[in-house]
Structure 1
Amino acid sequence: MKKKRGLACGIQEFKKDVILTPIFVIGEVAFDVLIPMMMAKLLDLGVNAGNVGNIWRYGILLVVMALVALAFGALSGRFAARAATGFSRNLRREMYRNVQQFSFSNIDKFSTAGIITRLTTDVTNVQMAFQMVIRIAVRCPIMLICAWVLTFVISPKLALVFLVVIPILAVGLLLVMKGAHPVFTRVFKKYDRLNSVVQENLLGIRVVKSFVREEHEKEKFGAVSREIYQDFSKAERIIAFNAPLMQVCVYGCMLLVSWLGAKMVVGGTLTTGELTSMFSYIMMILMSLMMLSMVLVMIIMARASADRITELLNEQTDLKNGAHPVREVKDGSVDFEHVSFSYAGDPGKECLKEVELHIASGETVGILGGTGTSKTTLVQLIPRLYDATEGSVKVGGVDVRDYDMESLREQVAMVLQKNELFSGTIRENLHWGNEHASDEELARVCRLAQADSFIREFPDGYDTYIEQGGSNVSGGQKQRLCIARALLKKPKILILDDSTSAVDTKTDAMIRRAFREEIPDTTKFIIAQRISSIEDADKILVMDGGKISAMGTHEQLLESCGIYREIYESQTKGGEDHE
């Protein structure tokens, strides 16, 4: 309900424009439908009667009425455009704000590409439909009714012709809408796939080129494009029935009115001017019907987009604060009590199983395990990026579900496996950790992360511009900047998810020594593939199959854990061979 109220407020902001648009449209229509009547008088009372005074009088009135109609049309267009663009801006803003509240599981549900399509293509479709509804969908019915009433005033017999046409058009348009809507619903989902392919290709363009896979990527893009083309072609074929149906009705009406009207003019029951105005009203009525059919086609497309937008707006994050959230994290102690977790929420598909773990504040915990052993999943439960399916995770002795999420995450700094730098200077990226940090604080955390030295080698130092995604710095430099950014938060818990994999062993050792000396009270979780990165940890966890298969110090695990000993020997032997 909150999302709907927010959307209503967005429309409310442009209430004046939404109201004024149809008012000016009605004024425009009023003068448009009176012009043919005035033209009839000009012909009958001026031209045919040979009265120059009437020609001037009605001619001037025609010009004035046309100018007023033009002014009303321009004003209605201006207010309609302002209302529609403002509405789409607010709609996009509400969607983006809602996305910012999403948990990782909500993002996984829609996919990044799907959210982008909804924020761009779908909003544009709804914007165009909204503008047409408040202008054309108001203008056309009013013009149709007024023009038909005036044709009835001129000749009731000729006016009855339109009563035959309208039901035929209504049935035809209904069938078109029924056939095209499911196709448009399907095609917008394929747009999501297309955006996903493009996004994946551009982000991994270096890998694509290094493996010479351009042709494969072209084929993948082409396959999705063909599917979209086929669906759009099918939808357009259905909509194309609208044009011949309209043309049959238009020409049929003109032929009937011409035949009947000519007989009436010869019989003296209809004047030439009235017949001329009848033709003008025919065109108004039929053009109104054609425009209405275009609006309906646009609404068919917009309806599919509106459903997708509504789905995103109504999506509620599955992570929420409790009624009385705790806002202070006492210390960095972490307890996992019989924790199991499944991304699907299905106990039969658990990736973490019955984890029991107790970490004292200030301890350093190393986590080791093969790919797919849920190392990252384990640490993501600490800042409540996901909620445990069973059991509880406690930080500072309090269940993470009882914390205010913002307060909890302020005290848990996490350098993700795929952490990102954003376009902007190094200084601006570091300020994500603390926007009020001084230059001295920035330099201090960068020294801890072994980043200060290479930053100062850049010509612009801390004002060096970082391209999107950090593409103009090396992998190791990027990791060190991300670690510095996390340290700037002064967290009680620091999580490094394989965050020193791109740095050399010497730099890795210097970072770990700085952590021991400078932030001894911070609890540190270090996921690593190199045993050298975690061998001096207070506790080392060996993950296997979503469980903690072994736990202890480096020396204890060498004696008691076969998996750990095997990894250690393979790494040290490899090092000796290399030497």
Structure 2
Amino acid sequence: MLKLTKYLKPFICHIILAIILLFAQAMADLSLPDYMSNIINNGIQQNNIPIVTRQKYIINTGIVMLLISLASALCIVGVGFLASKVAAGLSCNLRKAVFTKVQSFSKSELDKFSTASLITRTTNDITQIQTLVALMIRMVFYAPIMGVGGVIKAIEKSPSMSWIIGVAVISLLILIVAVFLIAMPKFKTIQNLIDRLNLVTRENLSGMMVIRAFNTQAFEEERFDMANKNLTNTNIFVNRVMAFMFPTMMLIMNGITLLIVWAGAKEIAASSMQVGDMMAFMQYAMQIISAFLMLSFIFIMIPRASVAAQRIAEVLDTQPEIKDPKNPKSLDNDLKGYIEFKNVSFRYHGAQKNILENISFTALPGETTAIIGSTGSGKSTLINLIPRFYDVNEGQILVNGVDVRDISQSDLRDKIGYVPQKSSLFSGTIESNLRYGNENASQEDLLEAANISQAMEFINEKTNAFESEISQDGSNISGGQKQRLSIARALIKKPEIFIFDDSFSALDFKTDAALRKSLKEKLASSTIILVAQRISTVMNAEKIIVLDEGKVVGIGNHKQLMESCTTYKEIAFSQLSKEELS
């Protein structure tokens, strides 16, 4: 929790003002029992004073009490406003900080935190802290003032009955500590179970078509039901503990009231105490118990919010593996689009074996460098190293003659147009998705990119053309259309280097061939790195790199590899006939 207090700095003035108002409210509330005691002692019980004088005294004192209550109410409203503003502002700043931090994560950090967990931390966990802060501002300053002030005032009224306050305080402390020890471990469990429930729900919704295709609805329902029941049962346990706590506190409160009446009656009978003083003592005792009730409520909230704060701090304290250099170098403009791998080896975090081993090759401007290999050979991993989604463990990757680790990530990625294996589109329009590559692109740029990517065919079929709506993740268009729009988005950026990670897989052979022809004509001076599974997609590339189990087993053009590389020949003959390959 303490790690997140720095995000409260912008609201220090609000918090100080709230404390001042709380102090004023507490003083007002502590003065009311005294006035009530005076009404009883000096107004109601003074039979030797004329009734008109007593009535006037009672009315005047009542008006003073009413004004004090009104002032207290205004303080409560002011504190509520300030508490809400501080809590909402803190949650806003935390969400911004978490989102900004996640944006800086490399794929290694994103692999560490699941998407479901990051969503829970950004929403549910921060809401827990927001609720706690709002309650703390309202109660954590007010309750101690009321508690201490109530004790002092009660002892002033009757020192001989102060033992009753001691009994109340000790009873409440025992109860609060017991509940705290029982409930604390369960709150962390609840947050983890919420993560699990979010994960199951997200997987179910994103994979709905697969679930229906394999008729596994019953299995998924059972999986969701288990996650739901685990969360429900844990919540029920915590709520039962809370449900036991508050009636017990009410029992203590009522018991203390009876003790005060019993002891007070004896004092009154002995003429050592007035009725008004006993009533004031009772009210002070209730204020003290109420203060402990407030604090207990806060102590109940703190464990859960503390767990949430730890989870948020875990995200904020995570240092990205991939950082910009302190003194970034500039790219050499004389070597535009030049890429070189020098003895590159890479393994994923925690893995014992390299997934890429001693990779060396060059990709030149004006050429298409294709990468092919069996599933799991490391093709996608290899190209993810170029924009520094991961950093190499050994060796170097040079872009325009400079090691990618010596270039700022922004400058490096400005030179690259990347089309991922899984096309990702954002909710909006076709135009807004294309402009993601360059928000200042002209209409001519949009048309050119759509034509090269073979997307104009289906864009023209839509009533609103470029203004046609795209649903979240492009769920309202086909896989091939998503790929073509993703390619168009990269083309609009007009970078020096294009990376296509199996980006033609959802296209039919005719569209694939037309797209590759357009790319060859329009991007004659650019460096193209193309990952593909189809031999027909890569066979016309100037350079083909063949990967097998993370190692380069062949480099050359199609003709050279058909003569010298067994792995390439096996892939080729598994897809095409000898006549088609010739």
TM bin (shorter chain):
over 0.9
1:126 aligns with 2:126: no
CA RMSD of aligned residues (A): 1.9
- Quick one: which of 150, 153, 156 aligns to 1:150? 153
> Secondary structure of the residue that 1:529 maps to in structure 2?
coil
Is 1:345–1:389's contact at 8 Å kept on the other side of the alignment? no
Deviations 1:297-321 (A, max 9, x none): 0011101001111111111111111
- Quick one: which of 294, 297, 300 aligns to 2:300? 297
Is 1:329–1:407's contact at 8 Å kept on the other side of the alignment? no
User: Counterpart of 2:33?
Assistant: 36
1:344-359 matched pairs, under 5 angstroms: 344=349, 346=351, 348-359=352-363
Q: Distance in 2 between matches of 1:336 and 1:216?
A: 47
Q: Distance in 1 between matches of 2:332 and 2:348?
A: 27
Percentage of matched positions with identical amino acids: 38
Q: Distance in 2 between matches of 1:323 and 1:343?
A: 25
> Secondary structure of the residue that 2:493 maps to in structure 1?
coil
User: Counterpart of 2:91?
Assistant: 88
1:494-509 matched pairs, under 5 angstroms: 494-509=498-513
Q: Distance in 1 between matches of 2:359 and 2:182?
A: 53
Q: Which runs of 5+ in 2 are unaligned?
A: none
Deviations 1:340-388 (A, max 9, x none): 1111154x22211111222223321111122211110000000111000
Q: Distance in 1 between matches of 2:474 and 2:244?
A: 52
Deviation at 1:558, TM superposition (A): 1.6
Deviation at 1:12, TM superposition (A): 2.6
Aligned residue type for 1:423: S
Is 1:446–1:484's contact at 8 Å kept on the other side of the alignment? yes
User: Counterpart of 1:341?
Assistant: 346
> Secondary structure of the residue that 2:326 maps to in structure 1?
coil
Q: Which runs of 5+ in 1 are unaligned?
A: none
- Quick one: which of 65, 69, 76 aligns to 1:66? 69
Q: Distance in 2 between matches of 1:304 and 1:9?
A: 18
> Secondary structure of the residue that 1:488 maps to in structure 2?
helix
Deviations 1:435-465 (A, max 9, x none): 1000001111111111122212211111111
User: Counterpart of 2:522?
Assistant: 518
* TM-score between the two structures when normalised by the length of structure 2: 0.94
Tell which deviates more after alignment, 405-414 or 156-165: 156-165
Q: Distance in 1 between matches of 2:321 and 2:16?
A: 39
Tell which deviates more after alignment, 295-304 or 205-214: 205-214
* TM-score between the two structures when normalised by the length of structure 1: 0.95
Is 1:21–1:75's contact at 8 Å kept on the other side of the alignment? yes
1:419 aligns with 2:423: yes
Aligned residue type for 1:373: S
1:18 aligns with 2:15: yes
Is 1:242–1:293's contact at 8 Å kept on the other side of the alignment? no
Q: Distance in 1 between matches of 2:176 and 2:393?
A: 50
- Quick one: which of 220, 225, 229 aligns to 1:222? 225
User: Counterpart of 2:485?
Assistant: 481
Q: Distance in 2 between matches of 1:366 and 1:521?
A: 16
Deviation at 1:245, TM superposition (A): 4.6
Deviations 1:409-446 (A, max 9, x none): 01111110112100011111111111100000111111
Q: Distance in 2 between matches of 1:515 and 1:325?
A: 32
Tell which deviates more after alignment, 193-202 or 304-313: 193-202
Is 2:128–2:304's contact at 8 Å kept on the other side of the alignment? yes
1:208 aligns with 2:216: no
Deviations 1:88-123 (A, max 9, x none): 111111111111111111111111111111110100
- Quick one: which of 427, 436, 448 aligns to 2:440? 436
1:256 aligns with 2:259: yes
